Amino acid sequence: MKTKFIPDGYMGEMPAAFCPSCFKLLNGVTNMEGQEKPKPGDCTVCMGCASVLRFTEDMQLEMSSLMEIPVEYRFNFAKMVAAVKQIAGIR
């Protein structure tokens, strides 16, 4: 499977998967707190629509929400969602 790296601030890679909300092809990921690759059950934010997503067992993406993020990470996650919205021009 082809993977691509986010050129700026790259920290991880992921199998190509589509966002279930906006269908953007997502094939790079940045780990907020280390060098580990994403694994099933981890959450991420779509760079296209700022949806909170979760990796499934086969490393595809499904919809999640901030309420499913462990409380100790939720604030940082919310900030990341806000930052992506700003970058993507979503209100």
Residues in CB range of 31: below 8 A, 6 or more apart: 11, 12, 37, 38
Q: Between 12 and 45, name the residue whose CB sits nearer to Zn ion.
A: 45
Q: Contact between 14 and Zn ion (CB under 5 A)?
A: no
Comparing CA positions, the residue from 34, 24, 33 lying closest to residue 4 is 24
* Binding track over 46-75 against Zn ion, x by CB under 5 A: x-xx-x------------------------
Q: Contact between 22 and Zn ion (CB under 5 A)?
A: yes
State the greatest distance between any 2 C-alpha atoms of the chain, in Å, as a whole number.
34
Q: Which residues bind Zn ion (CB under 5 A)?
A: 19, 21-22, 24, 46, 48-49, 51
